[in-house]
Amino acid sequence: MKRIKQVLCDVGGNTYGIDIAHVQGIEKQLNITQVPNVPRFIEGIAKLRDSVIPVFSLHKKFGVEIKQETGDSKYIIVKLDDLLLAFQVDMVAEIVELSEDKFMPAPQVVFSEETGYIESIISVDGKLVVVLDINGVLTEKEKEKLTKVVNEC
């Protein structure tokens, strides 16, 4: 049976999983430059290894309280199509490897236009974890706008 690794991260007291196949790296700190007229959940842009990448607030996207940045705060760098994106999270907890039969579909009640980022649910140590579909985090229009901003920098 296929095994899938997930990077588990904390955002506003909730745990989320991101398929490690999409993760390009985890950064402790980024110097963020704010950019006007971007979607509300974009904190700005940052330079990382000769690339300019948007910094994405999962707090704002999910509508959860933004905690004061601590030493545990991290940026998970993901590749979304041809766009690198930094997800701002409160903490990266661990990396787990699970068999694909451990992934359960999310209940239909949680699906809406605003929750296109929910891929599935897993249970890790008795705690439910929402697995993110990184391709559903941004709409096509938002991806186009961010790509344009990055290309102009």
Name the token pair of 64.
Answer: 């959860």
pLDDT digits (tens, 9 = 90+) for 74-89: 999 999 888 899 999 9
- CA–CA separation, 44 vs 101, rounded Å? 38
pTM over 0.85: yes
- CA–CA separation, 123 vs 58, rounded Å? 21
Which residues does 87 contact at the CB level (< 8 Å), separation at least 6? 9, 18, 56, 58, 75, 76, 77, 78
- CA–CA separation, 95 vs 37, rounded Å? 35
pLDDT for 108 equals: 72
pLDDT digits (tens, 9 = 90+) for 5-18: 999 999 988 999 99
- CA–CA separation, 42 vs 31, rounded Å? 14
- CA–CA separation, 34 vs 29, rounded Å? 15
pLDDT digits (tens, 9 = 90+) for 46-74: 999 888 899 988 888 888 877 666 667 89
pLDDT tops 70 at residue 153: no
Which own/partner pairs from 42-48 qualify as long-range (CB within 8 Å, at least 24 positions apart)?
A: 42/146, 43/88, 45/149, 45/150, 45/153, 46/75, 46/86, 48/77, 48/84, 48/86
Average pLDDT, the chain: 85
- CA–CA separation, 147 vs 104, rounded Å? 33
- Would you give the DSSP letter of residue 41? T
pLDDT tops 70 at residue 114: no
